[in-house]
Amino acid sequence: MDKWWKQSTFYEIYIPSFMDGNGDGIGDFQGITSKLDYLKELGIDGIWLTPFYESPKVDNGYDISDYYKIDSDYGTMGDFETFIQEAHHRGIRVIADLVLNHTSSEHQWFQESKSSRNHPKRDWYIWRDEPNNWESFFGGSAWEYDKTTKQYYYHAFAREQVDLNWHNPEVKKAMFDVIKFWLDKGIDGFRLDVINFLKVNDSFLNNPFDEKKQEQIHLHDKDQEGILLLIEEIAKFVHQYPDKFLVGEVGSENLNILKQYSGNNKLDVVFNFNIGSIEEFDASQLYQQLVATEETYKECQIPTLFFSSHDMSRHISRFGNREDRAKLVATLMLTAKGIPFIYNGDEIGMRDWITDDINKMKDIQGITAYKLALKEGKSHDEALIIANEKSRDKSRTPMQWNGNTYAGFSTNEPWINVPAELHLAIMEDQQDDPNSLLSFYKKLLRLRKKHVALHAGNYEYLHYKDDIITFAKTKQSEKIVVVLNFSDEKKSIELKSQIHILLLTNKNISKEENVITLLSNEAIIYKEKIRICE
């Protein structure tokens, strides 16, 4: 029997903005629990929860100050337990985001480490007399001077997110205890945050720059020697528990790096940013990445399929703000080979948001970009544009349930940059509309579940021509064909085989003999007649 996750569709919940259950303006466990019936009806199988541990939330919970506590903004341990029970009761699995690379600077471990050069926990973090040239991924130096002990500590992200020293076995032991605690609580697996950053090169050589001398190449601060062995240790520890799932955020769009982290003895899957981060609505690029992944991955490796997350611009906004395209991309995501991860709100076509007021920006990456731009002499307006480009607030607005609020936004007031009719088109309005994006997602998820060729099949072929991606997937005696027209024009194509049953289209194909005409951005899924030899 295949592992459960191989046939699952995951749904990412960005906790602070998903559903405010107690009216304090912040999403919480009570709120998520109240939406489990919606998620069941949508048809997803697993939830990925962004971090919910106690945190000062400089980076929205990716700065954990206590790994054993639920952040009080999100509820109590009791609320968490109820949520897990209720999710399991509906057959929905839950994976937790776990940040092993760094802790909050407010974590007790760091407070002890920074207290004196001789403290037993000094070596739990990375301290140096002099900084090197490594840059933080949020901008600026990755080293922060600490007055108390007159040394610098290393932080790959914000200065309040201090990198742990994974060369120290005590760190590993402490983190394995954390993993065990949450597995014992019934969590079904983890999304491991920036997992390829866990080891840095202890020679601390300076990083080189690209040819234009503008961007630093992160040669010595990620994907370092020993990281894969460490990954194997983590995977072995987690997989002692039967049926647990591990998805890694390997911060890279390079398929040759990504491929090293999943498969036998390693992580079950990693996020395929080589596919998911594609900026343009471009079928040929997408096709190239699908093929490259298929060719590069070994038999035991499965890719993931996603196009949005809490760190990215929403794909409907990236791809021209069009619902037909959103349906087309959803079709690809839920029928191609791979484990799909839907980002909350994509199923109702939520759009990116930008701000005209820097004081309303919450994301540390955007705020840091703003400050650095001003420092470099840019005007306020120029800095604001840069900040909006970098800021991940764009995809973190409150989920559009009627009246939901987060960070001072409400779904009942218009937002800048999002046309009022789209933003105010709350989820509840789509539920009863058979042509809505939400209804289309539901149909796709049902089809995926029903047809073994869709949820467990392999490609029989994967083609591209003239803006059309076509693939066939087979399993047992079933064969399903998917045709995706990425162009704005009508296209006629000759089918290799006969349509047996048309399962789904986002538009209205016409068909004569073996020639079908697809409307612009049309997606079709059909079942092929399998010839039985007599």
Written as six digits, the tokens of 175 are 């983190």
Q: Which of 54, 59, 223, 528 lies at the binding interface for ligand GLC (CB under 6 A)? A: 59
Burial class (CB in 10 A: 0-12, 13-18, 19+), 237: middle
**CB of 188 or CB of 249, closer to ligand GLC:** 249
For residues 24 and 77, the answer to whether their CB atoms sit within 8 Å is no
Tell me how far CA of residue 355 lies from CA of 59, 384, 391, in angstroms: 18, 8, 10
Minimum CB distance to ligand GLC, residue 34 (Å): 25
- Cβ distance to ligand GLC smaller for residue 51 or 457: 51
Tell me the closest approach of the beta carbon of residue 211 to ligand GLC, in angstroms: 26
Q: Give the residue, chosen from 18, 29, 52, 62, that forms a contact with ligand GLC under the rule CB under 6 A.
A: 62
Question: Of the two residues 35 and 191, which places its CB atom closer to ligand GLC in the complex?
Answer: 191
Taken as a whole, the chain contains a residue count of 534
Nearest to 428 by CA among 401, 460, 395: 401
Residue 193 makes contact with ligand GLC by CB under 6 A: yes
Looking at the Cβ atoms of 311 and 352, the one nearer to ligand GLC is: 311
Amino acid identity, residue 321?
N
Smallest distance, Å, CB 194 to ligand GLC?
5
| 58: contact with ligand GLC by CB under 6 A | no
Contact between 221 and ligand GLC by CB under 6 A: the answer reads no
Where are any strands of DSSP class E within 367-497? 405-406, 409-410, 458-465, 468-475, 478-485, 491-494
Place of tokens 């234009």: 212
Report, in Å, the least distance between residue 62 CB and ligand GLC: 3
Least distance to ligand GLC, CB of residue 417, Å = 21
Exactly one of 59, 71, 160, 249 is catalytic; name it: 249
Closest CB to ligand GLC among 246 and 468? 246
Q: To the nearest whole angstrom, how small is the minimum distance from the Cβ of residue 93 to ligand GLC?
A: 20
What part of residues 410-469 is at the interface with ligand GLC (CB under 6 A)?
none
Window 138 to 157, contacts with ligand GLC (CB under 6 A): 157
Place of tokens 């000062």: 56
Residue 63 known to be catalytic: no
Question: 363 with 392: CB under 8 angstroms?
Answer: yes
455 is written with which tokens?
């949820």
Phi/psi-derived region of residue 196, left when phi > 0, alpha when psi is between -120 and 50, beta in every other case:
alpha
CB of 60 or CB of 113, closer to ligand GLC: 60
Subset of residues 227 to 266 that bind ligand GLC, contact rule: CB under 6 A = 249
- The residue (of 392 and 451) whose beta carbon lies closer to ligand GLC is 392
Separation CA 463–CA 443 (nearest Å)? 25
**Which amino acid is located at 240 in the chain?**
Q
Residue 533, burial from CB neighbour count under 10 angstroms (0-12, 13-18, 19+): exposed
How large is the greatest C-alpha to C-alpha distance in the chain, in angstroms? 84
CA neighbor of 337 nearest in space, from 386, 378, 291, 383: 291
Q: Interface with ligand GLC includes 194 (CB under 6 A)?
A: yes
Tokens representing 398? 């409150």
Q: Kindly state whether residue 311 participates in binding ligand GLC, applying the rule CB under 6 A.
A: yes
Among 193, 268, 347, 363, the one annotated catalytic? 193
Interface with ligand GLC (CB under 6 A), residue total 9
d(CA 424, CA 407): 17
**In the bound complex, which residue of the shown chain has the CB atom lying closest to ligand GLC?**
62
Identify residue 417 by its one-letter amino acid code.
N
User: Using CA atoms, how far apart are residues 207 and 453, in angstroms rounded to an integer?
Assistant: 46
- Write down the least CB distance from residue 420 to ligand GLC, Å: 29
Q: Are 398 and 17 in contact (CB under 8 A)?
A: yes
Asked if 53 contacts 70 with a C-beta cutoff of 8 angstroms, the reply is yes
Q: CB of residue 156 vs ligand GLC: minimum separation in angstroms?
A: 8
275 or 481, CB closer to ligand GLC? 275
**Please, which contacts does 416-423 make with residues 24 or more away whose CB atoms are closer than 8 Å?**
416/353, 416/354, 416/355, 416/356, 417/351, 417/352, 417/353, 417/354, 418/351, 418/352, 418/353, 419/351, 422/349, 422/351, 423/351
Active site residue 393: no
3-state secondary structure of 324: helix
**Smallest gap from residue 368 Cβ to ligand GLC (A):** 11
Residue (63 or 522) nearer to ligand GLC, CB = 63
Binding positions for ligand GLC, 89-118, rule CB under 6 A: 99
Q: What residues are annotated to the active site?
A: 193, 249
For ligand GLC, the binding residues (CB under 6 A) are: 59, 62, 99, 157, 193-194, 249, 310-311
